[in-house]
Every structure is written in C-alpha cells, then in structure tokens.
Amino acid sequence: MDSILITIVFLLLLMSSEARDPFACDPKNTSTNNFPFCKASLPIPTRVNDLIGRLTLQEKVSMLVNNAAAVPRVGIKGYEWWSEALHGVSNVGPGTKFAGQFPAATSFPQVITTVASFNASLWEAIGRVASDEARAMYNGGTAGLTYWSPNVNIFRDPRWGRGQETPGEDPILAGKYAASYVRGLQGTDSSRLKVAASCKHFTAYDLDNWNGVDRFHFNAKVSKQDMEDTFNVPFRMCVKEGNVASVMCSYNQVNGVPTCADPNLLKRTIRGQWHLDGYIVSDCDSVGVFYTNQHYTSTPEEAAADAIKAGLDLDCGPFLAQHTQNAVKKGLLTETDVNGALANTLTVQMRLGMFDGEPSAQPYGNLGPTDVCTPTHQELALDAARQGIVLLKNTGPSLPLSTKNHQTVAVIGPNSNATVTMIGNYAGIACGYTSPLQGIGKYARTIHEPGCANVACNDDKQFGSALNAARQADATVLVMGLDQSIEAEMVDRTGLLLPGHQQDLVSKVAAASRGPTILVLMSGGPIDITFAKNDPRIMGILWAGYPGQAGGAAIADILFGTTNPGAKLPMTWYPQGYLKNLAMTNMAMRPSSSTGYPGRTYRFYNGPVVYPFGYGLSYTNFVHTLASAPKVVSVPVDGHRRGNSSNKAAIRVTHARCGKLSIRLDIDVKNVGSKDGTNTLLVFSVPPTGNGHWAPQKQLVAFEKVYVPAKAQQRVRINIHVCKLLSVVDKSGTRRIPMGAHSIHIGDVKHFVSLQEQKLGIIKT
Ligand SMILES: *[C@@H]1O[C@H](CO)[C@@H](O)[C@H](O)[C@H]1NC(C)=O
Ligand SMILES: *[C@@H]1O[C@H](CO)[C@@H](O)[C@H](O)[C@H]1NC(C)=O
Ligand SMILES: *[C@@H]1O[C@H](CO)[C@@H](O)[C@H](O)[C@H]1NC(C)=O
Ligand SMILES: *[C@@H]1O[C@H](CO)[C@@H](O)[C@H](O)[C@H]1NC(C)=O
C-alpha cells in the first residue's frame, strides 16, 4: 500500500516537474499568494502599484534589466526578458533554449521572403503559430513570453546585412507587416497577451558595419521629412495598428542623440503621440554603448538617468542594474522615475498572466510539446515559402519544367543542398529541412554538383564536374547566392554582385547545359544579376530569399509548376553602379542633383534598376480593369483654419476632418492565361506635382492578393484612406494632403482622383 502511494506521489512529482512553476503568486504558498498584486480580479494598475509599493529601491533597480532578479521576499522569481521569434521561435536570446521535449520549432522563411507574398493574413498566421509554439515552450520551462521581434527598420541600403530580417523598403508595406505579425504573436484579446512582441530598432537604424563606421558609433543624420515619411512609419503602425507591447530603441544616435536617451523619440513620440501600451527596451548593451563607446555622458550614472528619464523602461544588459541606484543617490533621477519604468514592464508581465498563479490553469496553459512542429505548422512554413518565392525571368516560357521532358536535372551550386542557410539569421533549430536537392529529387532524377566549395566561391576547381553534370541532364538548376558569411548582423556587403567566381560558374554552366538553365538565388539583399537577366541561355530566374525549413520543397514545387508563383519583390534590385555615389552613412531618401546622390528606394530613386520594387512574374497572365472609382473626392477642412497657410495646395492633415474618409476602388482581375494563379495587386499613387520636392515619385497605398482560376475573373475592393495614404510630408516634417489630381496605378490601369478642399462653416468663437 505504502509503496504504491510513494510511487504515485513520485509519479506526480515527476509529472509536475515537467511543467513550469508559477513566476509569482504561487497558489501553493500561502505566505505570498495573498498580496493584492496577486488578485487577478483587481485592475492591473492597482496590482502594479501594490507590488511597487512593496519593493525597495534596490529590488526595483535589479528588475530593470533583461535578466531581472528574483524577489523571493514577495514570491517573485527571476525572469529572462530576452527571447526572439523573428520567423519562428529562435534561440538567439538567452530566454529560450531547445532542449528535452522541445528540440526544435517551426522555422519559417526569413522575413524578407515572407513579405514578398504581400499576404497580410499569412503574416498573421505565422505569428499565431510562432506564439503557439512559444507558449508551449514557456509552459515547458524552455522559453520566455517576451519576444524582441519583429525588426521593422526600413531596408534603406541594399548592402545592409540585416536587410533580410526586415519587411523591405516601403514604409506602408513594413508597417502593415509589423501590425499583422504582431497581432499574430500577441493575439487580439486586449486584456490578455499571448506573448509580448517588440518592434525594433527605433529608429533610423539600418547600418551595421560599413567602411569603418559601425552601428555602435554611427550618428544617423535624418531630416524631419525623412523621419516622418519613411523611418518612423513602420513603428507608428506597429504601435497604433498592431498594439505592440514593446518598442526597442537602437544603438545609433539620431541627430547627435542616442535613441535610447532621447526623450523626443521615446517619451514624446512613442508614448506621447502613439500611446504605446507597453515597455521600451534598449538594444543589447546600448545604454552601456552610449556611455562607453559614444561618450555621450561623462558618468555612468548620468547615462542611466538620461535613459530612464528619456523613457527607457528596461535595459538589455547589466548597465541599469549597476548604475541606477547611484544615479538616484546623486539626485540625477528620482525613485518615482524608476517606479514609472518598472510599472511599464510589470504591466506587460501582468497582461501576460505571469502574476496569475499556475501557468497550466491559464489561457494557453494547455499548449505543450505536441503543439510544436505539428504537421499543420510545418505545412504553413512550406506554404509561406511557396507564397514568397519570386519569379524574375521566364523566357520561352521554359518554366515550369515537366516531369515528362525533364527526367534528369543537374542541380548545381553552393546553395543546392542548403539547409541552415535557408533559415537565415535570428532563427532557431528547425523541425527538419527539405533542401533544394531533396525537393527537386521528388520530381526528377538529380545529378548533384556544388560547383564551388561555398558561397564565397574562391576558385573554379569544381567547375569541370559541374559542366559535365549540365551536359548530361535534361535541365539544369543552379542554386546560387549568399549566406550569413556574406550578409549578416555586423556584416554589411561591399558590393551587389554575386561573390567570388559564382557569376563565372553560372555563365559557363548555362553555356554547357543540354537543357534549359534555371538560376535560383538565395539571398536577403538584392543581387546585381544583370549578366543572367541578359543571358539568353539562362531561361528562368527565381529569387527564393531565405525560404525557411521547407524552402527546397517550395522551390521544386514552383520549378515543376505544382505551385504558380505570385510573389513580388519587396525591395529594389539595383545595379552595382548605383553604389558609386552612395555612402551608406548618407541617410537622405531624396536624391540631390547638386551632389549626384541618387536617392533611395523606388519612392525617390529614378535611375536604372535590375528589377524594380514590386516586380514578379506568374505562369499565367492577369488583366486588370477598373470597375468603379470616384473621380472627385471632397476633403472636409476645419473652419478654424486660417486662410494664410504657407501652402494652399496641400492642406495639413491635422486641419482635415479625416475620419474614415477614403477612396473606394473596385478592380476586376481576370486570369487570361491557362493556369490558375494568384495575383498580387499593388496600388500606387502619384501625388500631384507642384509641391516643391516633398512628394515621392510614387508610393504604395494598398496591396491585395487574390486567387483567380484560369479564365475566371474576381472583383477586388480596395479602400484608400485619404489622410493616411494620400498625404505627403513637407520639409518641416508636417504631413499634408495635396489638393488636385492624384494618379492611382494598378498594373497598367491608371486613374485620376481629384481631391478638393471643402471648407466647413467657420464657427465663431
Ligand atoms: C513561500 O514563500 C516564502 C517567501 O518567499 C518562502 O520563504 C517560503 O520558503 C515559501 N514556501 C514554500 C513552501 O515554497
Ligand atoms: C494568404 O495566406 C493564407 C494563409 O496561408 C492563405 O490561406 C491564403 O490563401 C493566402 N491568400 C492568397 C490570395 O493566396
Ligand atoms: C545534403 O546535405 C545533407 C545535410 O546536410 C547531407 O546529409 C547530405 O549528404 C547532402 N547531400 C549531398 C548529395 O551532398
Ligand atoms: C501670411 O503668412 C506670411 C508668411 O508666413 C506672413 O508674412 C504674413 O504676414 C501672413 N499674413 C497674414 C494676414 O497673416
């Protein structure tokens, strides 16, 4: 009897040891579970105040850092804030480990690839899966609940090593991605966070290490105009539309002030204007960096005080734990300032349910090991890769290949058997991989030759056997491009061409191939492949980005036509010559005719490109017609507005009665080809001219993805919010709506909408 009982108790202990113990308010401990801050029925601000009231300054300060200390006295455990989930749960931060029952997680395509799908529901779906797996791992004690993802900086310069992590070069696209992915991660229940996301790195951070300048020392000089209409847009949308629970400030300075010490950026913009409901965290050691590397303050206490007073709530790194108490002692900071920071982090922990006792008794408490790497999750990773791979060239058309005519395929190139390369950076451990070689092997007999030892491709020693393979096969697929040795965090590229002898290998193989030659590129940043675009022997080109754990299967599905590609480039592919007059340190978006500076992104640069933003082919053809659209739209303007504005042709957004004022377009999309396919509609607007040099030459105002079977037609409705999307930003950083004819472009369709000011009656006061 006794031994059975002991066995049962032992088994119970064993089972419970698999689940995470409560972070705080353990129901099993009557000496700590009766505090008001443990009462889930009380409003969160009341609970937060109660808890803060029980803590000493020293205890508070020890909680201002990523590895926040425990306060056993009140029953609170330590917490590691730093976890990452850029495209699936990652082990880059110390808060997450793959071990025991959680050896891996679903590894989605790198963000630049996923964004190329232009499918906001896909972005949200990926966020939902990543947070399911994150919660499961949290419950099992191997992950945190606070994820410092996504990276929503603008992909401003094609050389940036972290461009791969971003949603591309367009601010509205990046903002829409940010809001969608964050909603997926956090869930949409405002009273309860599934996990807490963080949009980073605020702001104008998009240089890692270029020509002797690194991110730890860089002072980004940014005009008010570029700040408002480019750099801050994704962050604003992340906070206001995504309701993100955190923003991370960056290493660099903006106009001479470290972003993590700038009250204008943190307190006034993120909190004051955008109303962040959450915490502001530093990049890792960035407070230490602005003291030690930038010498921004003369004492560490001043650095700690400046950061907290600017609005920083949490330090990734030890700096605030080391210096905040002395800063208070020296009178540089008050305990009330510390309380304010702590209130913001504690509030997020309470919204996550961390003070609600037993994790298993809470929402998401049921998620466990069987909810990670499920077939459904892995299928979504495959689907995301299929939706994100861009078809750049298809002469003949030579694609798709056929299993009948292309029974033997030469699979060549340093990325032809890629696995970890496919998941890019800020990844975790994937559930498994399908390499391009394996993927193609499902459709055809393969002859595999790497051609180069690695992507650096320093010699041509293996060219001979690659050419032989191409001579024997019915088709040749070259899988080339980059990996983290060429573009990564702290590794910006020096040029845009393929590394080493890669170009030579591609050209020689194409010349030797018996069948059609298809070039598949893996990369985060754009590559100048003008040679391949112009080489008639290279019949097809695909850009796969870094397509995630199932990338090779998706590439093969597109090559053999099981999937009809529908993705579009989320960034401009520039020729190498673009870099001639382009210091990476020059933050200006607009070109300068006096210096020959070319400007950046499709919105401002109008020189030659290899492939433009938004480019991407399909195996079918779509025709667009406008079914209905207004010709004239009145913009109601507040009667209080004085008639003496400096620019009557463009009214301030703050003077307009914006509400839901929008332009509704109905577009018919007809699939005139013979294959079912998905069309990505990109809607651009060209503002009226005559506003000085404010306006971009065009800007993306909407996008929509629609599946249309062959010969069928679908109607797509698009709403364009007038104030948000048709406004431009003047030199002083003021957003204005230009009156007059805005040209709306959808594919070949052009339509003019005239905006007209409608003065509302002046209210006498
Ligand atoms: C309950 O919490 C108090 C205060 O942290 C601690 O001293 C005690 O050991 C805990 N009791 C149990 C059974 O864990
Ligand atoms: C967008 O992605 C979702 C989720 O994967 C998918 O169900 C949907 O079909 C996609 N939309 C289109 C038009 O392809
Ligand atoms: C492809 O890569 C896998 C995993 O790295 C390896 O096991 C396999 O041997 C490679 N195949 C070839 C043909 O090189
Ligand atoms: C109108 O604005 C201009 C320039 O800002 C200013 O010089 C002028 O005095 C203003 N006129 C009136 C009537 O306010």
Tokens representing 318? 């030890």
Q: How far is the CA of 648 from the centre of ligand 4 (A)?
A: 13
The predicted pLDDT at position 18 comes to 59
Q: Is 24 in the pocket of ligand 1 (CB under 6 A)?
A: no
* Residue at 511: amino acid letter: A
d(CA 694, CA 700): 16
Cα-to-centroid distance, 234 and ligand 3 (Å)? 40
Structure tokens at 83: 């976890």
Amino acid at the residue 527: I
Q: Is the CB of 31 under 6 A from ligand 1?
A: yes
Q: Does 417 contact ligand 3 (Cβ within 6 A)?
A: yes
Question: Distance from the CA of 42 to the center of ligand 2, in angstroms?
Answer: 41
Could you give the dihedral angle defined by the CA atoms of residues 608, 612, 613 and 614, in that order, rounded to the nearest 10 degrees?
160
Taking the centre of ligand 4 as the mean of its atom positions, its distance from the CA of residue 644, in whole angstroms, is 6
Give me the pLDDT at residue 330, please.
98
pLDDT of 354 > 80? The answer is yes
Residue 39 identity? K
Q: What is the mean pLDDT of residues 526-547?
A: 98
Dist CA 13 CA 118 (whole Å): 49
**345 Cα–ligand 2 center, Å:** 35
Report the alpha-carbon distance of residue 448 to residue 607 in Å, rounded.
39
Which residue CA neighbors atom 13 of ligand 3 most closely? 448
pLDDT at position 359: 87
Domain boundaries, the chain: 2-17+79-371, 379-579, 621-761
Residue nearest to atom 4 of ligand 4 (CA): 646
* Spacing, Cα 402 to ligand 2 middle (Å): 26
Local structure of 530: helix, strand or coil: helix
Q: Which tens digits make up the pLDDT trace of 15-36?
A: 444 578 999 999 999 988 899 9
Looking from the CA of residue 29, the nearest atom of ligand 1 is 1
32 lines ligand 1 (CB under 6 A): yes
Closest ligand 1 atom, residue 32 Cα = 2
Ligand 4 atom closest to the CA of 646, numbered from 1 = 5
Measured between alpha carbons, how far apart are the two ends of the chain, in Å?
89
Predicted pLDDT of residue 658 = 93
- Residue 182 Cβ inside 6 Å of ligand 2? The answer reads no
What's the CATH code, domain 2-17+79-371?
3.20.20.300
Residues sharing a CB contact under 8 Å with residue 765, sequence separation 6 or more, in sequence order: none
Q: How far apart are CA 625 and CA 666, in angstroms?
A: 9
* Mean per-residue pLDDT of the chain: 95
- Report how far residue 563's alpha carbon sits from residue 735's, in angstroms, rounded to the nearest whole number: 42
Q: Which of 576, 582, 480, 531 is nearest to 157 (CA)?
A: 582
- Ligand whose nearest atom lies closest to the CA of 644: 4
User: If you measure from the C-alpha of residue 119 to the centroid of ligand 2, how many angstroms do you get, rounded to a whole number?
Assistant: 7
* pLDDT confidence of residue 15: 43
For ligand 3, atom 12: residue with the closest CA: 417
Note the pLDDT tens digit of each residue in 276-308: 999 999 999 999 999 999 999 999 999 999 999
Please say if the pLDDT value at position 645 is more than 70: no
Question: On the CB side of 355, how many CA atoms lie within 13 Å of its CA?
Answer: 28
Residue 498 pLDDT grade (very low, low, confident, very high; cuts 50, 70, 90): very high
Nearest ligand to residue 416 Cα: 3
Of all protein residues, the one whose alpha carbon is nearest to atom 5 of ligand 4 is 646
The domain defined by 621-761 carries CATH number 2.60.40.10:
yes
H helices present in 409-462, as ranges: 436-441
How many H-runs (helices) and E-runs (strands) does the chain carry?
Answer: 20, 27
Shortest-distance ligand to the CA of residue 127? 2
Supply the residue whose CA is at minimum distance from atom 11 of ligand 3. 417
pLDDT above 60: residue 14: no
Atom of ligand 4 nearest to the CA of 644: 1
* Mean pLDDT confidence for 682-688: 96
Look at domain 379-579 and name its CATH class. alpha beta
- Give the pLDDT band of residue 671 (cuts 50, 70, 90): very high
Lowest mean pLDDT among 165-169, 643-647, 649-653: 643-647
6 — pLDDT class (breaks 50, 70, 90): low
How far apart (Å, rounded) are the C-alpha atoms in residues 518 and 204? Answer: 38
Using one digit for the tens of pLDDT, what is the confidence trace for 711-746? 999 999 999 999 999 999 999 999 999 999 999 999
The catalytic site residues sit at 283
- Asked if residue 497 has pLDDT above 60, the reply is yes
**Of 21, 23, 31, 71, which is best to mutate to test ligand 1, by the most ligand atoms within 8 angstroms of its C-beta?**
31
What residue's CA is closest to ligand 3, atom 4?
419
β-partners of residue 491 are 488
**For 475-489, how does the pLDDT look when each residue is reduced to its tens digit (9 = 90+)?**
999 999 999 999 999
> Which residue, 615, 590, 616, 610, is CA-closest to 601?
590
Kindly list the distances between the CA atom of residue 661 and the CA atoms of 202, 637, 681, 719, 755, in Å, as whole numbers in the listed order.
Answer: 30, 12, 22, 9, 11
676 CB near ligand 2 (under 6 Å):
no
Which tokens go with 148?
Answer: 């410092």
Q: What's residue 693's pLDDT?
A: 60
Q: Nearest CA to 346 among 63, 661, 14, 555?
A: 63
Ligand 4, atom 8: closest residue by C-alpha: 644
The reply to whether ligand 2 has any atom less than 6 angstroms from the CB of 752 is: no
Nearest ligand by distance to the CA of 418: 3
**CA nearest neighbour of 40 among 365, 361, 364:** 361
CA–CA distance, 735 with 356 (Å, rounded to integer)? 44
Residues 6+ apart with CB under 8 A from 692: 730, 731
> What's the confidence (pLDDT) of residue 639?
66
User: What's residue 640's pLDDT?
Assistant: 59
Which atom of ligand 3 is nearest to 438's Cα?
Answer: 1
Q: Is the CB of 421 under 6 A from ligand 3?
A: no
The reported pLDDT for the residue numbered 756 is 94
Measured from the alpha carbon of residue 645, the closest ligand is 4
Average pLDDT over residues 600-623: 98
Tokens in use for 292? 């030690």
**Ligand 1 close to Cβ of residue 43 (< 6 A):** no
% of the chain exceeding 70 in pLDDT = 95
Q: Evaluate if residue 585 carries a pLDDT over 80.
A: yes
Nearest CA to ligand 3 atom 3: 417
- Cα(705) to centroid(ligand 2), Å: 8
Bridge partners (DSSP) of residue 215 are none
Residue 561 has what pLDDT? Answer: 98
Does residue 419 have its Cβ closer than 6 Å to ligand 3?
yes
Q: Is 705 in the pocket of ligand 2 (CB under 6 A)?
A: yes
**Tokens (6 digits) for 632:** 């004239």
Q: Can you read off the two tokens belonging to residue 164?
A: 């791969």
Distance from the alpha carbon of residue 192 to the mean position of ligand 1, in angstroms: 28
Q: How far is the CA of 149 from the centre of ligand 2 (A)?
A: 23
φ and ψ of 422, to 5 deg? -70, -20
Average pLDDT over residues 91-115: 98
Q: Is 17 in the pocket of ligand 1 (CB under 6 A)?
A: no
Of the pLDDT bands very low, low, confident and very high (cuts 50, 70, 90), residue 4 is low
**Ligand 2, pocket-test mutation among 108, 113, 118, 119, most atoms within 8 A of CB:** 119
d(CA 75, ligand 1 centre) in Å: 7
pTM over the 0.85 mark:
yes
Two tokens, residue 472: 């024997």
